[in-house]
Structure 1
Amino acid sequence: MSDLLKKIEDEALGLTNQERAFLADRLLSSLSEDTLTDVDAAWIAEAERRYKEYKEGKRPGIKAQEVFAEADRLLK
């Protein structure tokens, strides 16, 4: 890490939560939306594959109520 980056990090960590959130939002929005990580690309491909299987009748749908109930159960 460069000295400048370390100084910026130290100063940013001294900001209030609200100021850090604003700064983080500005920094993230400044990144190119066209830049996907390998993980992002893999998840997009997986979602597209699953949707195609669903539309072709090869994958059953799951009711939202069931999905949320299972998520609640797993998070408890």
Structure 2
Amino acid sequence: MGARWSALIGEVTANENPTEKDAYDTRAPYVPLKVAWLKPEDLAPVAVFLSSDLAAMVTGATYDLTGGDNANNQN
């Protein structure tokens, strides 16, 4: 289990066995784009782009793929 998922589950204190919906409902006020967590298909287009010839001129850049989660400085 990843650190972010563990932190998310830790925020759901009313239920010792929270479901994904419980976790999402707890985080929803803090996530501007209403994306609970990113899935591989959300990240794949960036990976494909960066490994393609289209990104030949991309150097020293970072891409935050957070779905807006860090907009409120939430970890």
TM-score category of the 2 structures, normalised to the smaller one: under 0.3
The structure, 1 or 2, with the larger RCO (C-alpha pairs under 8 Å, 6+ apart) is 2
The two structures have a TM-score, normalised by structure 2, of 0.25
Kindly indicate which of the two structures has a greater share of residues assigned to helix.
Answer: 1
